Copies of this chain bind each other. A is one copy, B any other.
Amino acid sequence: MALVVQKFGGTSVADAERIKNVARRVVDTYRAGNDVVVVVSAMGKATDELIGLATQISDKPHPREMDMLLTAGERISMALVAMAIEDHDVPAVSFTGSQAGILTTSRHGQAEILDIRAFRVRESLDDGKVVIVAGFQGVSPDSKDVTTLGRGGSDATAVALAASLEADLCEIYTDVDGVFTADPRVVPTARKLDELTFEEMLELANSGAGVLMARSVEFGIRYNIPIHVRSSFHDGDGTWVKEETMEEPIIRGITHDDTEAKLTIHGVPDRPGIAAAVFEPLAGTGVNVDMIVQNISSEGKTDISFTVPVTDAPTAIEVAKGVAAEIGASGVDLDSDISKISVVGAGMKAESGVAAKMFRILSDSGINIEMISTSTIRISCVVKGGDTKAAIAALHDGLLEDAS
């Protein structure tokens, strides 16, 4: 007998039929002798519909009330899932984030989980009940207000709750079969991965793989909770994410991220302290800078390029223009039509030459590299937006189909 946390996303609970399917799966797990905690997202497009209502009311909805509004979404799905489970004569009880003891910071819309005091969850498990918990939401102990966790919040709820309950396993049910070597919509030959280390999953998530959000992987790492990413439509195994894997191939997968824009400050005087002068004001406005590249200096001048989320670009360019004027740079450019392509694999730690091979493949495909950044297990290149598909296809072909 194990304690299993099962998380079902919005598509898995999109209508009554799918909710009944979820209930059947949960009941099977329960009847096999396990304790089961279920974390659910809002039904299908429910969250988008609530956001739509809010924008009809106000151009800038009050953040506390926005969270109050959005948390109605999971409230509906969790109650329906509980009813569907009860209908199998299996005792079930649903809890909001607040009732489940999910304590967060008070930053509405982007709260962070601080602690989980899952007394009521434990008590109900001890009573033999299946416990359904609303994903994506919590409560701030400071303000006593309801909060939401932002994008990917339900995954974070599931893994954090699994950690807090010392669960044996956290299953993330989704509408795809698992984690793939590349986006199957871009690379038809992409393969499902059987397993991954936490570290690899974290790099994949951070570089554009949408299947599992980075913050939930971080809880997995910290508390060593194995995560099984799998399809809610069939019983086949998905992808296991855990501390160690049987084999560590050089490269696990290739991701791409089209959500960033590149800014370049030209003709920057090359003197100490200039990077701080540029990036401190950006950090002050909350803009999330990803890659930074500084060119080799020529005649005492250099160029500094960096990427930011497209949504932050308007703020970033305003700040950058102010900085440029202050430090005597010649100007600022914005390029929103870029894509970041990343190659990820724990095997890179031991094996050298992956970067060189990556650059060669892109070059042979006639694709220009605009920026490069690396970690121990990842190499990322920024290319023009129009080159995304060709770059991924060539890299998958050259780096992964050889290896398989």
Contact residues of A with B, CB < 8 Å? 16, 19-20, 50, 53-54, 56-58, 61-62, 64-66, 68-69, 71-72, 75-76, 78-80, 82-84, 86-87, 92-94, 99, 120, 144
Contact = CB atoms under 8 A, between A and B. Distances in A.
B53 A80 contact: yes
Contact of A83 (B20, B62, B87, B94): B62
A94 B75 contact: no
B93 A57 contact: no
A80 B62 contact: no
Contacts of A144: 99, 120
B68 A16 contact: no
Nearest to A49: B76
B75 A69 contact: yes
Contact of A68 (B50, B57, B94): B94
B75 A72 contact: yes
A57 B20 contact: yes
A64 B91 CA distance: 12
B61 A69 contact: no
Contacts of A120: 144
B75 A71 contact: yes
Given A66-B79, A79-B65, A87 B57 contact: yes
A97 B83 CA distance: 22
Main secondary structure of the interface of A (DSSP, over half): helix
B80 A76 contact: no
A56 B71 CA distance: 22
Contacts of A64: 93
A50 B144 CA distance: 27
18 contacts: A19-B57, A53-B76, A54-B80, A54-B83, A58-B83, A58-B86, A58-B87, A62-B82, A62-B83, A65-B79, A65-B80, A65-B83, A68-B75, A68-B78, A69-B75, A69-B83, A72-B76, A99-B144
Nearest to A23: B57
Contacts of A99: 144
A58 B84 contact: yes
Given A50-B76, A75-B75, A82 B56 contact: no
Contacts of A16: 53, 56-57
A35 to B, nearest CB: 20
A82 B57 CA distance: 10
A57 B84 CA distance: 6
Contacts of A87: 57-58
A72 B69 contact: no
Contacts of A72: 72, 75-76, 79
Nearest to A16: B56
A289 to B, nearest CB: 32
